[in-house]
């Protein structure tokens, strides 16, 4: 769920689908939860934008629990109001993904999300239903040392995802092969990620056209449900009737949108592939591409 289109974190490389001024209202959010509950969905992930900046962040979490959803959050919080907002609801969250960047990704994106500064965030949670998510570009030994120090001290899981191009930030990644080898050798890597990123440069020139395989729905900050965040052609307002929403969601499943370079990073394997290569779906970050085996959350 995108809590807001605008984002004060302002990562220059951000690949989110919606940028603008829309802010998710508590009314549309509750309406969406009511419909999604009827459709059998049982977990929401608050992202954005920066969810802890939303004035109704606490309410979002409480309302999700009242409807019986598990509620996860993806956040760049580090200190001040963002951290207090997060700490205030931490006990209610099923999972907290704390986003961070390798030193070079941080420099490139002007993100302020260093790996070392996540320690204070994990301390503030009071539990370990959490993971460190590192967006990696030119991954180096210092990054690896920081990652190890944080996950060991905090006892949380780790996700590493290569920095990927977005609609507004296209670039060739000459370090990708090096980054991937380092991730694979130092941390381990899922076969799914290896398969995706092996074709990365080819995809930038010639994006593959295949059906969306995401098993998630996306709620935009202006109150539309879509299967793919990037597909504004097939969407339905949360203000539509029950029947319209149910039929629209059904259509999104039977007539999936096509992928392009923008959404490859959040695309999930199909059920058939997944049955052959099961992965844990229990994390809050829809963008995750890699999960470390240990420590187990
Ligand atoms: C769009 S952010 C929104 C939530 C929150 N503001 C945060 O910083 O975590 C969600 C995740 O997308 C990741 N992300 C954004 N752009 C990316 C890109 N171009 N390549 C890889 N990951 C990206 C971020 O690092 C973050 O972990």
What separation in Å is there between the alpha carbon of 234 and the centre of ligand 1?
Answer: 24
Residue 159: CB atoms within 10 A of its CB come to 21
Mean pLDDT of 155-160: 93
User: Residues with Cβ < 8 Å from 180, sequence gap 6 or more?
Assistant: 162, 189, 194, 197
Q: 189-195 long-range contacts, Cβ below 8 Å, gap at least 24?
A: 189/290, 190/277, 190/279, 190/289, 190/290, 190/291, 191/277, 192/269, 192/273, 192/277, 192/279, 192/289, 193/161, 193/289, 193/290
pLDDT digits (tens, 9 = 90+) for 106-124: 999 999 999 999 999 999 9
Q: What is the C-alpha to C-alpha distance for residues 175 and 132, in angstroms, rounded to an integer?
A: 22
Burial 206-241 (b: 16+ CB within 10 A, else e): eeeeeebbbeebbbbbbbbbbbbbbbeebbbbbebe
Confidence of residue 267 (pLDDT cuts 50, 70, 90): low
pTM above 0.75, yes or no: yes
pLDDT digits (tens, 9 = 90+) for 7-60: 999 999 898 889 899 999 999 999 999 999 999 999 999 999 999 999 999 999
DSSP symbol at 241: -
Q: Ligand 1 pocket test: which of 219, 287, 290 has the largest number of ligand atoms within 8 Å of its C-beta?
A: 287
> Which pLDDT value is given to residue 119?
97
Nearest residue (by CA) to ligand 1, atom 24, is: 99
Q: Which of 277, 112, 275, 250 is nearest to 189 (CA)?
A: 277
Could you identify the atom of ligand 1 that is nearest to the CA of residue 164? 20
Topology classification of domain 26-276: pyruvate-formate lyase- activating enzyme (3.80.30)
Contact between 127 and 253 (Cβ < 8 Å) = no
Domain layout of the chain by residue ranges = 26-276
> Which pLDDT value is given to residue 259?
77
292 φ, ψ (degrees, to nearest 5): -70, 145
Cis peptide bond N-terminal to 49, omega within 30: yes
Helix (H, G, I), strand (E, B) or coil at 48: coil
Nearest residue (by CA) to ligand 1, atom 15, is: 14
Nearest residue (by CA) to ligand 1, atom 16, is: 14
What separation in Å is there between the alpha carbon of 224 and the centre of ligand 1?
Answer: 21
Length of the chain: 297
Q: What is the C-alpha to C-alpha distance for residues 227 and 218, in angstroms, rounded to an integer?
A: 6
């Amino acid at each position: 769920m995108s809590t807001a289109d605008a984002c004060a974190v302002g990562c220059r490389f951000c690949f989110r689908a919606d940028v603008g001024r829309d802010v998710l209202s508590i009314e549309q959010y509750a309406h969406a939860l009511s419909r999604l509950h009827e459709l059998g969905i049982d977990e929401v992930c608050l992202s954005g934008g920066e969810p802890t900046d939303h004035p109704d962040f606490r309410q979002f979490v409480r309302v999700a629990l009242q409807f019986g959803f598990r509620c996860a959050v993806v956040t760049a919080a580090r200190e001040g109001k963002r951290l207090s907002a997060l700490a205030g609801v931490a006990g209610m969250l099923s999972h907290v993904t704390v986003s961070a960047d390798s030193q070079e990704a941080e420099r490139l994106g002007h993100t302020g999300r260093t790996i070392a500064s996540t320690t204070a965030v994990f301390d503030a949670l009071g539990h370990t239903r959490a993971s460190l998510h590192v967006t990696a570009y030119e991954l180096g030994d210092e990054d690896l040392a920081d990652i190890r120090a944080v996950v060991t001290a905090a006892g949380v899981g780790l996700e590493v995802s290569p920095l990927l191009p977005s609609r507004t930030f296209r670039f060739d990644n000459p370090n990708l092969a090096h980054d991937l080898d380092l991730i694979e050798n130092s941390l381990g890597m899922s076969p799914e990620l290896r398969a995706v990123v092996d074709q990365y440069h080819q995809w930038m020139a010639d994006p593959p056209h295949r059906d969306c395989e995401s098993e998630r729905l996306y709620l935009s900050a202006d109150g539309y449900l879509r299967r793919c965040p990037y597909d504004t052609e097939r969407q339905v307002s949360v203000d539509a009737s029950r029947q319209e929403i149910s039929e629209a969601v059904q259509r999104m499943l039977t007539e999936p949108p096509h992928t392009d370079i923008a959404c490859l990073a959040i695309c999930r394997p199909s059920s058939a592939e997944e049955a052959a290569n099961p992965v844990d779906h229990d994390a809050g970050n829809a963008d995750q591409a890699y999960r470390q085996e240990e420590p187990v959350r």
